[in-house]
Structure 1
Amino acid sequence: MARVAFIGLGNMGGGMAANLAKAGHEVRAFDLSVAALAKAEERGCRRAGSAAEAVAEAEAVVTMLPAGKHVRDVYEANVIGVAPATAILIDCSTIDVTTAREETGKAAAQGYDMVDAPVSGGIAAAEGGTLTFMVGGEAEAFERARPFLEQMGKAVIHAGGPGAGQAAKICNNMLLGASMIATCETFVLAQKLGLDPQTFFDIASRASGQCWSMTSYCPLPGVGPETPADRNYDGGFAAALMLKDLRLAMEAATSVDAYTPMGSEAEELYTRFAEKLGGAGKDFSGIIKMIDDSWSPPTSDPAAPPPGLRLPK
């Protein structure tokens, strides 16, 4: 087993670090949150006093951080030149492609192998060790990272060279965001046309319009398998995180002059839902509450559903 430094113990990182400890690794964990550190310690990790302390003798460094600026700060101040040059560096954050490539290049210049390995699957998958990892990096770096990633996930896929993992993640989530909006629009229209939601689900989930947003993550409560819709859109994948990923996708599209009208519209709608209507902390499927264009939320209840939708109070 190896000495693993794990930096970033939030909703996702906490479960991931615990799974590495469960696998028998000596996990030295660090986070700015004292509560997160205490929880990690309870789950088998060793508490480090700083990021630099965590990586000092590490054979692998895993990071799960909020944004590109945090990755840049942590790697340039506390990882590159601090961790042993023999350590494999694994960044599981979801960040912009440019920063991922830049940090991999800076690490390589100092003799490190590094991969970008963003995840798909959400908090439950992080806890259960069933994440999907999309990995960017050189083939040798990927093979070195693979054993650690396999102990945190069910699928580990080499997407290509440095930055390819981030590219795969933002493209996947642009598709997810747009398909969720289309699914919500469809349920709203079907209900306004007099179709029973369960009946429509039974039809569409077996017809050519079926997609993951409908069959596995239906945005209406009581329809299909249990989803955050059945818990008043609490838990799951927050709309603020979907918006973050859509913005990363739009930045990437601009950088390569790609025409992404559906992605752009999805970003605008999630901006409205998350930032103007107070839905940032709700699951991203909660956008069904504002899909009806005729709906104007009352001042006293900005999260109220549009008329006609049978949603939880």
Structure 2
Amino acid sequence: MSTIAFIGLGRMGVPMAAHLVAAGHTVRGVEINPAAADAARAHGIEVVDSVAAALAGADACLTSLPKPEHVSAVYGGDDGIFAHAEASTVLMDTSTVDVETSRWCHSEAEARGLTFVDAPISGGTAGAEAGTLTFMLGGAPDDVARAAEIVDPMAGNVIACGEAGAGIAAKLVNNMMLFIGVMAMSEGSQLAEQLGLDAKTFWDVARVSSGDSWPLRTWYPVPGVLEKSAANNNFDPTFSVDLARKDCGLAVQAGDTTGVNLPAARLALAQLDELIDEGLGGKDCTLVAKLASPDGTLRGYDPALDRTLEGTRA
């Protein structure tokens, strides 16, 4: 069994690392949020105070961080991963970042004689908890093969996407399609409501018909249809608006760089920005369904219960 460093033990990182522990690996983690650190300890993860302590003698290191700037800082800082990793340690970033940041990680690792694989994931918190995430790996074939063995306990699918940066490129395109799909599901759910259709009955129809999609099967934004839908919990986040906006923005940025026209992605981005402008960046991204509602209200969402609006009301 291996010793694995895990940097970033949040909503995704804790269940992912827990699967590694269950598979018999020793996991040493770093997390600055005290509640998340406590949750990690409860799953058998050894929480340490520094990246250096996590990396000491580690066979592998995984990072799960919110934004590109966090990845750059954790890898490139004076006390970061590049400063303390050993040549034998395979480094894997599961975060969603821009292609340029991922390629920077590859080039900086290579310059230091280190091994790096971009290893973004798809499947959300439900996939992290179930151990069914899809890993999209980019890097040299031998390095990708090593990474695939490490991530296997957390994965339902492990796909070698190509050379350096191919994994993150695949992730950005995939998530762009996801947010366009969320928009379609949201509009469909509200039209079905206004036409008087029973929500579960319509979901049963769409699930086995041409309207089917991953967000429809996983995140349907009407309460009482899917147990883990955010609609059952006042749209508290499983995948926040802020993070969705970050990912969708990176995809639109890639479109600008490559010259690809992305009108649907730009509309999805505009809707996420509208929610952020309303102070709802901390809510679930499926709250975009309220933008399709005739009067802006949404079954399953009560602003009076929304702690994120307390400062606005004060």
Question: TM-score, normalised on structure 2?
Answer: 0.88
Taking only the aligned residue pairs, the percentage that are identical comes to 40
Aligned to 1:96: 98
Q: Map of 1:65-104 to 2, 5 A cutoff?
A: 65-77=65-77, 78-104=80-106
What one-letter code is carried by the residue in structure 2 that aligns with 1:282? K
Q: Aligned partners of 2:48, 2:204: CA distance in 1, in Å?
A: 51
Q: Structure 1 residues 143-152 or 275-284, which shifts more? A: 275-284
Q: Aligned partners of 1:59, 1:242: CA distance in 2, in Å?
A: 32
**Structure 2 CA distance for partners of 1:312 and 1:63, relative to 1, 3 Å:** closer
Aligned to 1:220: 222
Q: How far does residue 196 in structure 1 lie from its aligned partner after superposition? A: 4.2
Q: How far does residue 248 in structure 1 lie from its aligned partner after superposition? A: 0.9
SS of 2:87's equivalent in the other structure is coil
Q: State which of 175, 178, 187 in structure 2 corresponds to 1:176.
A: 178
Aligned to 1:149: 151
2:3, 2:58 within 8 Å by CA — same for their partners in 1?
A: yes
Aligned to 1:284: 285
**Structure 2 CA distance for partners of 1:222 and 1:43, relative to 1, 3 Å:** closer
1:216, 1:225 within 8 Å by CA — same for their partners in 2?
A: no
2:233, 2:300 within 8 Å by CA — same for their partners in 1?
A: no
Aligned to 2:30: 30
What one-letter code is carried by the residue in structure 1 that aligns with 2:27? V
Q: Aligned partners of 2:284, 2:169: CA distance in 1, in Å?
A: 23
Q: Aligned partners of 1:33, 1:284: CA distance in 2, in Å?
A: 23
Q: Structure 1 residues 180-189 or 248-257, which shifts more? A: 180-189
Aligned to 2:142: 140
1:221, 1:312 within 8 Å by CA — same for their partners in 2?
A: no
Q: How far does residue 60 in structure 1 lie from its aligned partner after superposition? A: 0.8
Aligned to 2:257: 255
Question: TM-score, normalised on structure 1?
Answer: 0.88
Q: Aligned partners of 1:193, 1:49: CA distance in 2, in Å?
A: 56
Aligned to 2:308: none
Aligned to 2:166: 164
Stretches of structure 1 that go unaligned for 5 or more consecutive residues are: 296-304
**Structure 2 CA distance for partners of 1:32 and 1:213, relative to 1, 3 Å:** closer
| Number of aligned residues | 300
1:125, 1:131 within 8 Å by CA — same for their partners in 2?
A: yes
Q: How far does residue 37 in structure 1 lie from its aligned partner after superposition? A: 2.8
Map Cα deviations across residues 89-142 of structure 1 (whole Å, 9 max, x no partner). 111111111100111111012222211111112223223322111111111111
Q: Aligned partners of 2:238, 2:71: CA distance in 1, in Å?
A: 24
Aligned to 2:5: 5
Q: How far does residue 267 in structure 1 lie from its aligned partner after superposition? A: 0.3
Q: Structure 1 residues 208-217 or 144-153, which shifts more? A: 208-217
If each structure's helix is expressed as a fraction of its own residues, which one has the higher value? 2
